[in-house]
């Protein structure tokens, strides 16, 4: 049985699957995205010859990690709706490994220490910059469940979110041309709007102008 107790367990399980099924990081990311998109996992003929228990355990793990990335973690940090598809895009384009995604300096934000409390601190801090309807929502978190934005864990979370977005902007939207190190805000928003249509079939009317 593959374990999802914490992100180190997730990485260990992924490595076991790679060894047992002789698959790459990309293949596992493809399975997660396919399942999220409503497509059944497709095994190769050699993989289908594995014992039924192993195949069943792998399928269950992919289902559980998909629910973790797009359900549990999204409920903890809404930014995961954007961050996790970006992370999977990078892995599927061989620009990021699961090892680095789960344990490295550019690892997924929710693998950070005190990530939930840090994400709540960021959500409250960002609130004043959002739409009127979103600003009117009240967050009734207990004080011990929220970290102030000055705390290092909050800075770590925000930095990791930035790194994922920055790496994605460099490699994914322009496969035939690398973007410069400094990506204009308008370019970043435009690329993300296009990606949201690809990920979720939601068309966003881009109406962004830089404030002078």
The 3 state secondary structure assigned to the chain is CCCCCCHHHHHHHHHHHHHHHCCCHHHHHHHHHHHHCCCCCCCCHHHHCCCHHHHHHHHHHHHHHHHHHHHHHHHHCCCHHHHHHHHHHHHHCCCCCHHHHHHCCCCCHHHCCCHHHHHHHHHHHHHHHCCHHHHCCCCCCCHHHCCCCCCHHHHHHHHHHHHHHHHHHHHCCCCCCCCCCCCCHHHHHHHHHHHHHHHHCCCCCCCCCCCC
For the ranges 3-7, 125-129, 139-143, 187-191, the maximum mean pLDDT occurs at 187-191
Residues 146-169: pLDDT tens digits?
999 999 999 999 999 999 998 898
Q: Is residue 160 part of a domain?
A: yes
| Structural domain harbouring 195 | 7-200
Has residue 1 been placed in a domain? Answer: no
At 212 the pLDDT is 44
CB 95 within 8 A of CB 171: yes
For 71-89, write each residue's pLDDT tens digit: 999 999 989 999 999 999 9
Percent of the chain clearing pLDDT 70 (strictly above): 84
Residue 205 lies in a domain: no
Token pair 């790679």 is found at: 18
Name the least confident of 50-59, 104-113, 159-168: 104-113
> At residue 124, does pLDDT exceed 80?
yes
Residue 211 lies in a domain: no
The verdict on residue 78 lying in a domain is yes
- In this structure, is residue 29 part of a structural domain? yes
Cα separation, 212 vs 209, whole angstroms: 9
pLDDT value at 206 more than 70: no
210 occurs within a structural domain = no
pTM of the model: 0.87
In a domain, 209, yes or no: no
Q: How many domains does the chain have?
A: 1
pLDDT digits (tens, 9 = 90+) for 24-34: 999 999 999 99
pLDDT of residue 63: 94
């Amino acid at each position: 049985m593959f374990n999802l107790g914490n992100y180190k367990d997730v990485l260990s399980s992924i490595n076991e699957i790679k060894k047992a099924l002789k698959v790459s990081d990309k293949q596992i990311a493809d399975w997660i995205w396919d399942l999220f998109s409503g497509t059944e996992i497709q095994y190769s003929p050699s993989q289908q010859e594995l014992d039924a228990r192993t195949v069943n355990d792998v399928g269950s793990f992919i289902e559980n990690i998909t629910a973790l990335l797009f359900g549990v973690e999204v409920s903890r940090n809404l930014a995961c709706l954007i961050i996790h598809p970006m992370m999977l895009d990078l892995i599927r384009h061989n620009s990021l490994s699961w090892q680095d995604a789960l344990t490295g300096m550019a690892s997924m934000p929710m693998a950070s220490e005190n990530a939930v409390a840090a994400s709540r601190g960021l959500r409250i801090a960002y609130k004043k910059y959002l739409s009127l309807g979103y600003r009117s929502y009240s967050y009734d978190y207990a004080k011990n469940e929220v970290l102030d934005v000055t705390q290092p864990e909050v800075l770590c979370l925000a930095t990791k979110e930035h790194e994922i977005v920055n790496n994605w902007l460099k490699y994914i939207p322009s496969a035939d041309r690398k973007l410069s190190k400094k990506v204009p805000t308008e370019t970043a928003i435009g690329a993300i709007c296009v990606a949201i249509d690809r990920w979720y079939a939601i068309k966003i009317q881009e109406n962004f102008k830089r404030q002078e």
